Amino acid sequence: MLELRGISYYAETRNETVRILDDINIKFEDRKLYVITGPNGGGKSSLARIIMGINRPTAGRLSLDGEDITDLDITSRARLGIGYAFQNPPRFKGINVKQLLDISVQSEQVGQTDKKACDTCALLNNVGLCASEYLHRDADTSLSGGEMKRIEIASILSRNLKFAVFDEPEAGIDLWSFAKLAETFENMHRTRNTTIVIISHQERILELADEVIVISGGKIEEVTTKQKILAEITHTSDCSCGTDCGKGVGMNA
Ligand SMILES: Nc1ncnc2c1ncn2[C@@H]1O[C@H](COP(=O)(O)OP(=O)(O)OP(=O)(O)O)[C@@H](O)[C@H]1O
Ligand SMILES: [Mg+2]
């Protein structure tokens, strides 16, 4: 179980201190699939960065299976089995897609060369990419945003993680590949022991959730069920402004 207790995060800008996360308390239970949703700028990616150890909380503690991990860096958290697929994945100069995926697979399957090659192809298929077209492409800016996004998701899928966070996996991904990706998450949840957190605004992803966490204004606004949140989304707006402004559909939009 990953537990966050009293997590706050403040960032320093040139002339002020900005409160980004405020007293976040949550327990992520093993093997559950959580969807984190909420308005843009609410603090979802900031929370993911704190879980991965990219940013250090201003206050509060994190623990994994009872072990305090607040002071551990990214590498140590990765060794404990925490992984994060970025909202905007980084590009890599000088390595190709196969090498990038091999780095992840290697850590899981030392010495199983044949299985490794075949797994690399399966990984790309799982995110809707044809292995023969992509394995030897450079993992740099020559890949489109959607291609790089899917390759990064494949690299996270390749690791047998204890806790995986996917930050808006749908961003920039076409409808056909997205359907395949949603199936892949569903399979991952069914067949692996990983606790999965998907930051998403997509109905198809919300449908996969065991629990939905709504983050808004740096706070947890609600921990709820997919049924409730999906009903709220389809609910006609209560706002009387006469436009389709979204007010009254939950999440304090
Ligand atoms: N280093 C920083 N300095 C100043 N403001 C920051 C910093 N990092 C994040 N923020 C602000 O904190 C808020 C939360 O950002 P975050 O990226 O976590 O939002 P989000 O919920 O992931 O939004 P989105 O749905 O658009 O991805 C935003 O208003 C953002 O501008
Ligand atoms: Mg974000």
Q: What is the pLDDT of residues 117-162, one digit of tens each?
A: 557 888 899 899 998 899 999 999 999 999 999 999 999 998 889 9
How far is ligand 1, taken at its centre, from the CA of residue 88, in Å? 13
CATH superfamily of domain region 32-45+70-234: P-loop containing nucleotide triphosphate hydrolases (3.40.50.300)
Domain limits of the chain? 32-45+70-234
Residue ID of nearest Cα to ligand 1 atom 16: 43
- Taking residues 108-122, report their average pLDDT: 60
- Residue among 13, 15, 18 to mutate when testing ligand 1 (max atoms within 8 A of CB): 18
* Span 110-121, average pLDDT: 58
pTM above 0.75, yes or no: yes
Question: Who contacts 118 (Cβ-Cβ below 8 Å, separation ≥6)?
Answer: none
Which pLDDT value is given to residue 110? 46
Q: In this predicted model, what pLDDT tens digit does every residue of 22-63 receive, in sequence order?
A: 999 999 999 999 999 999 999 999 999 999 999 999 999 999
What's residue 247's pLDDT? 54
Ligand 1, CB within 6 Å, residue ranges: 11, 13, 18, 20, 40-46, 87
Q: Ligand 2 is a single-atom ion; what residues have CB below 5 A from it?
A: 44-45, 87
Q: What is the pLDDT of residue 108?
A: 60
Q: How far apart are CA 30 and CA 17, in angstroms?
A: 35
80: CB partners within 8 A, 6+ apart? 64, 69, 72, 162
| Each residue's pLDDT tens digit, 163-179 | 999 999 999 899 888 99
